[in-house]
């Protein structure tokens, strides 16, 4: 079943799939300035982000990418990536986390992140999810941190 809204096609950005019901979401252009601000805030944190036309921002952490000279890593490592969607929630535009469903055939799961206008919170939370804990740390500090987090057990 497709639910169509009486909105010009240029204002329909994306399709929300819930079970078997497909509904178009009218976002207009109000989300775009929030998306561009989020991209700027994420890039300031060393992440790579891009705006997609269906109300999404896709983010990746270059520190989580496999080495260029590692063919197996290039094939099998997914890297650190996250997508957030902009959708209306209670009359306000919100960023929603996009999580994979439990199986390949499951629809994605959406979880509220924060209102679109709260760029700092969104960027901080996304950066935390995509963090590489010991990137750039020396081997000795990384290993001492690992044993400390294991409760000092050796």
Give pLDDT tens digits for 15-26. Answer: 443 343 345 556
What confidence score (pLDDT) does residue 63 get? 86
Confidence label for 65 from pLDDT (cuts 50, 70 and 90)? confident
For residue 92, the enclosing domain spans 27-132
What confidence score (pLDDT) does residue 136 get? 61
Contact 59, 81 (CB under 8 A): yes
pLDDT digits (tens, 9 = 90+) for 97-145: 999 889 989 999 999 999 999 999 999 999 999 998 776 655 444 444 4
Distance in angstroms (rounded) separating the CA atoms of residues 37 and 148: 38
Q: Domains in the chain: how many in total?
A: 1
What confidence score (pLDDT) does residue 54 get? 82
Q: Mention every residue, 6+ apart, whose C-beta is less than 8 A from residue 98.
A: 56, 82, 83, 84, 85, 108, 109, 110
Residue 60 domain flag: yes
Which stretch of 39-43, 52-56, 105-109, 130-134 has the lowest confidence by average pLDDT? 130-134
What confidence score (pLDDT) does residue 53 get? 82
Residue 145 domain flag: no
Residue 147 has pLDDT above 50, yes or no: no
pLDDT digits (tens, 9 = 90+) for 81-101: 899 999 999 999 999 999 988
Residue 115 domain flag: yes
Residue 40 domain flag: yes
Residue 9 domain flag: no
What confidence score (pLDDT) does residue 24 get? 53
Name the average pLDDT for the chain: 76
Distance in angstroms (rounded) separating the CA atoms of residues 57 and 51: 5
Residue 19 domain flag: no
What spatial distance separates the first Cα and last Cα of the chain, rounded to whole Å?
58
Residue 12 domain flag: no
Distance in angstroms (rounded) separating the CA atoms of residues 139 and 17: 45
Beta bridge partners of 16: 23
**Of 117, 52, 62, 43, residue with least CA distance to 83:** 52
Residue 98 domain flag: yes
pTM comes to 0.67
């Amino acid at each position: 079943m497709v639910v169509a809204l009486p909105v010009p096609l240029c204002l329909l950005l994306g399709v929300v799939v819930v079970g078997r019901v497909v509904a178009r979401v009218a976002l207009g252009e109000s989300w775009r300035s929030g998306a561009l601000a989020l991209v700027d805030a994420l890039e300031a944190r060393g992440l790579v982000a891009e705006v997609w036309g269906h109300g999404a921002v896709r983010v990746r952490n270059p520190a989580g990418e496999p080495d260029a000279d590692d063919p197996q890593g290039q094939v099998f490592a997914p890297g650190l990536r996250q997508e957030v969607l902009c959708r209306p929630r209670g009359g306000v535009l919100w960023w929603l986390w996009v999580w994979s469903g439990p199986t390949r055939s499951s629809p994605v799961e959406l979880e509220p992140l924060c209102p679109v206008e709260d760029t700092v919170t969104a960027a901080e939370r996304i950066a935390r999810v995509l963090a590489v804990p010991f990137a750039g740390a020396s081997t000795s500090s990384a290993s001492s941190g690992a044993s400390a987090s294991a409760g000092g057990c050796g």
